């Protein structure tokens, strides 16, 4: 019972938490968003939002790159902070540019994803990552 109200944390709990955040957010973005965009590329390329003014298909390719490649890096724990930064920028664009005039509830999920990626960006990948092995 004491542990439930303790403010201490162990290295194991921190590393497990970071692993679960990387795995969970990375797989959700990869499978639910990136693969959906990739599979529907031909339908989306003419109507996808263009907040960066690089064309609809250019913006779609950037989003697919971030959601598939960077999510895979995040899950692996390889170049983790860079991948989390790219994904955070993508989500900041979604929240503050694409959905800026929509009700808060429409942006709730992207904000939650953004919080997860910012957590990884600030805390790092944890012990169970390729970055850790490379850094030794």
Domains of the chain, residue spans: 18-127
Q: Which helix (H) or strand (E) holds 88?
A: helix 80-93
Specify the pLDDT at position 105: 78
Which pLDDT does position 97 carry in this prediction?
Answer: 92
Per-residue pLDDT at 31: 86
| List of the chain residues with pLDDT < 50 | none
Note the pLDDT of residue 56.
95
């Amino acid at each position: 019972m004491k542990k439930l109200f303790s403010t201490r944390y162990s290295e194991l709990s921190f590393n497990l938490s970071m692993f679960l955040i990387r795995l969970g957010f990375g797989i959700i973005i990869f499978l639910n968003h990136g693969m959906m965009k990739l599979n529907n590329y031909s339908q989306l390329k003419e109507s996808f939002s263009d907040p960066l003014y690089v064309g609809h298909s250019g913006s779609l390719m950037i989003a697919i790159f971030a959601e598939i490649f960077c999510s895979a890096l995040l899950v692996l724990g390889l170049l983790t902070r860079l991948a989390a930064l790219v994904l955070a920028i993508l989500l900041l664009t979604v929240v503050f540019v694409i959905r800026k005039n929509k009700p808060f509830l429409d942006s709730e999920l992207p904000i939650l994803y953004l919080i997860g990626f910012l957590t990884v960006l600030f805390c790092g990948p944890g012990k169970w990552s390729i970055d850790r092995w490379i850094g030794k």
